[in-house]
């Protein structure tokens, strides 16, 4: 039997060898492909264009062994979130006004040989921006009322934007402020930055972030608006996940997110009145934090920290007792006024500054867990001149430092050394009215999923009774400011600034 199998196998191999050597005598009409060659778009460089400008591209098209071919052309683009294709042109050269929403796109150019169907494709990433898509947003007050200016990253200033976009109307004075946040779901419609104007005793309104025209009252985003004027004091998203949180009339409103525009389902339950600071937490993509809380806030009414974790409207929580590791202080029993809350130079630790009834100042640091172990650092601040007078603060996420202001002086508090030093003094008669870091707001693994991280630039607004100015400083590796690198003038009294990062 084995001999028979071997014989059959041998015959099969011989036949296979014979057939493999047989010449293919099929009558095939083979033709050269004649490849189409298209020059790289924009000389191979990324395209950046302002919305409303005309994009002109004239790529050379050649085909091997063809001198006068007939071709079909297609220009189109799609968004970075793989939105539906936007058809642009069927001509060889592109000459078109760009009207798509600002944001990132991939521009496609397809050339097809009409006779053979052979195609060649070139693509290039394109970013559509606007004059107002990036830079410093400024709200200032004059005799006619409040208005908005925009300082672009190249230093160009555009003024009276609110009044021009809203039929000559002005913003309520005094003390209106800009509130905004980055909403990643807004990328779906190329509107990730939302801007609001919050005025004392008035309803907060939403602005179009590119034109500064009023879109409508903030209450339109609330399923159940509170009674009276609806005032927004802070708003932020999560570093990972869709929920959005907003402090409205002292209560925390909750939105599950997941849509291109957030809709707030209701306020978290409980007896509380919040300080105007929300800190959403992160594990940085680098550690597992058991019982991690989603956010930390401070209850001004009852003098305590509160936390929340969940995907539905529910109740705020206090911190459970863990006597084996109670932490540096009792987060349920602070009994002081919160004057500032912000992120620290470590992604999972969050800073709070408090003042007691006699004006003494204190520093607290929290970790995002639900037990008293969350209380990581507590210290009385005894070496910080004029800190108990400060109402303007700006914390760094690069250095363990917080800037604060007294009259025309800028101090820098180092919370690791628990000491402050004077870093800049403006001219006599110049009152500091606001301080803002340039910031990045896009959470990513490379940035430890922080919802905000400060950059190496800070803006300080002053007012001398007749003119408002903004001085731009580069922040040194030590936190020192040195001399201003730019000065912008001609404003009224600046009450608020908001930084729009480049995207």
pLDDT by 10s per residue, the chain, length 503: 444 444 445 555 454 544 454 555 555 555 667 899 999 999 999 999 998 899 999 999 999 888 888 999 999 999 987 778 999 999 999 999 999 888 889 999 999 999 899 999 999 999 998 888 889 999 999 999 999 999 999 999 999 999 999 999 999 999 999 999 988 766 665 667 899 999 999 999 999 988 899 999 999 999 999 999 999 999 999 887 788 999 999 999 999 887 778 899 999 999 999 999 999 999 998 889 988 999 999 999 999 999 999 766 788 999 998 777 789 999 999 999 999 999 999 999 999 999 999 999 999 999 999 999 999 999 999 999 999 999 999 999 999 999 999 999 999 999 999 999 999 999 999 999 999 999 998 888 888 889 999 999 999 999 999 999 999 999 999 999 999 999 999 999 999 999 998 66
370 within 8 A of 383, measured Cβ to Cβ:
no
Classified as helix, coil or strand, 102 is coil
By C-alpha distance, which of 280, 290, 402 is closest to 344? Answer: 402
* Predicted pLDDT at 1: 44
DSSP 399: S
Instruction: For residue 105, list its beta bridge partners.
Output: 79, 126
CB atoms closer than 10 angstroms to residue 419: 13
For residues 471 and 486, the answer to whether their CB atoms sit within 8 Å is: yes
Closest CA to 424 of 452, 453, 403: 403
- DSSP readout, 413-432? EETTTTEEEEEEEPPTT-EE
Q: Exposed, middle or buried by CB within 10 Å (0-12, 13-18, 19+), for 468?
A: buried
How far apart are alpha carbons 348 and 345 in whole angstroms?
A: 9
Distance (Å, whole) CA 451 – CA 23: 69
Set out the domains of the chain in order of their start, with CATH numbers.
Answer: 36-129 (2.60.40.10), 132-166+388-503 (no CATH)
**3-state DSSP assignment of residue 185:** helix
Q: Which residues neighbour 474 within 8 Å (Cβ) at sequence distance 6 or greater?
A: 456, 457, 481, 482, 485
Residue for token pair 């037990």: 371
CB atoms < 10 A from the CB of 236, how many? Answer: 22
pLDDT in the model for residue 331: 97
Q: Which token pair is 378? A: 């507590």
Q: Strands 47-50 and 119-129: what pairing?
A: parallel
3-state secondary structure of 498: strand
Please, are residues 466 and 105 in contact by the beta-carbon 8 Å criterion? no
Q: Are 262 and 221 spatial neighbours (Cβ–Cβ below 8 Å)?
A: yes
Q: What is the model's pLDDT at position 30? A: 53
Beta bridge partner(s), residue 493: 141
**CB atoms near residue 108 (< 10 Å):** 17
Sign of CA dihedral 315, 318, 323, 326: positive
Give the separation between CA 192 and CA 203, rounded to whole angstroms. Answer: 23
CA-to-CA distance for 302 and 396, rounded, in angstroms? Answer: 28
Distance CA(392)–CA(445), nearest Å, equals: 31
Give the residue carrying structure tokens 């919040």: 274
Query: Do residues 435 and 460 lie in contact, with contact meaning Cβ atoms separated by under 8 Å?
Result: yes
């Amino acid at each position: 039997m084995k001999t028979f199998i071997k014989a059959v196998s041998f015959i099969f191999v011989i036949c296979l060898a014979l057939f493999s050597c047989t010449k293919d005598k099929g009558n095939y009409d083979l033709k050269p492909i004649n490849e189409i060659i298209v020059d790289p778009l924009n000389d191979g460089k990324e395209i950046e264009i302002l919305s409303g400008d005309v994009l002109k591209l004239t790529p050379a098209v050649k085909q091997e062994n063809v001198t006068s071919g007939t071709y079909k052309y297609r220009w189109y683009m799609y968004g970075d979130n793989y939105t539906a294709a936007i058809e642009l042109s069927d001509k060889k050269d592109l000459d078109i006004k760009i009207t798509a929403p600002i944001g990132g796109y991939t521009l496609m150019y397809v050339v097809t040989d009409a006779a053979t169907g052979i195609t060649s494709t070139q693509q290039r990433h394109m970013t559509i921006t606007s004059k107002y898509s990036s830079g410093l947003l400024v709200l200032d007050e004059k005799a006619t009322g409040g208005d908005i200016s925009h300082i672009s990253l190249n230093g160009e200033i555009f003024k009276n934007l609110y009044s021009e976009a809203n039929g000559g109307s002005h913003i309520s004075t005094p003390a209106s402020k800009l509130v905004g946040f980055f909403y990643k779901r807004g990328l779906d419609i190329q509107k990730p930055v939302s801007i609001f104007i919050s005025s004392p005793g008035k309803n907060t309104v939403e602005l179009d972030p590119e034109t500064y025209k009023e879109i409508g009252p903030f209450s339109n985003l609330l399923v159940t608006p509170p009674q009276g004027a609806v005032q927004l004091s802070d708003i932020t998203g999560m570093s990972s996940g869709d929920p959005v949180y907003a402090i409205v009339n002292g209560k925390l409103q909750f939105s599950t997110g997941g849509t291109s525009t957030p809709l707030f389902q209701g306020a978290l339950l409980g007896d509380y009145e919040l300080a105007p600071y929300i800190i959403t937490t992160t594990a940085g993509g680098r550690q597992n934090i058991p019982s991690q809380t989603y956010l930390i806030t401070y209850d001004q009414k009852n003098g305590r920290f509160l936390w929340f974790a969940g995907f539905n409207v529910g109740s705020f929580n206090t911190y459970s007792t863990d006597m084996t590791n109670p932490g540096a202080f009792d987060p349920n029993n602070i009994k002081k006024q919160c004057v500032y809350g912000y992120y620290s130079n470590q992604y999972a630790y969050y800073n709070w500054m408090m003042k007691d009834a006699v004006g003494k100042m204190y520093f607290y640091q929290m970790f995002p867990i639900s037990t008293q172990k969350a209380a990581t650092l507590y210290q009385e601040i005894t070496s910080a001149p004029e800190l108990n007078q400060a109402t303007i603060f700006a914390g760094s996420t690069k250095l363990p430092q917080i800037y604060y202001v007294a009259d025309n002086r800028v101090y820098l508090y180092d919370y690791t050394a628990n000491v402050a030093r004077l870093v800049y003094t403006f001219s006599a008669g110049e009152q500091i009215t606001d301080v803002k870091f340039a910031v990045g707001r896009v959470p990513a693994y490379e940035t430890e999923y922080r919802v905000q991280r400060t950059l190496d630039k800070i803006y300080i607004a002053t007012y001398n009774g007749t003119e408002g100015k903004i001085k731009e400083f580069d922040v040194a590796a030590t936190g020192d400011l040195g001399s201003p690198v730019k000065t912008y003038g001609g404003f009224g009294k600046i009450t608020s600034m908001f930084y729009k990062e480049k995207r």
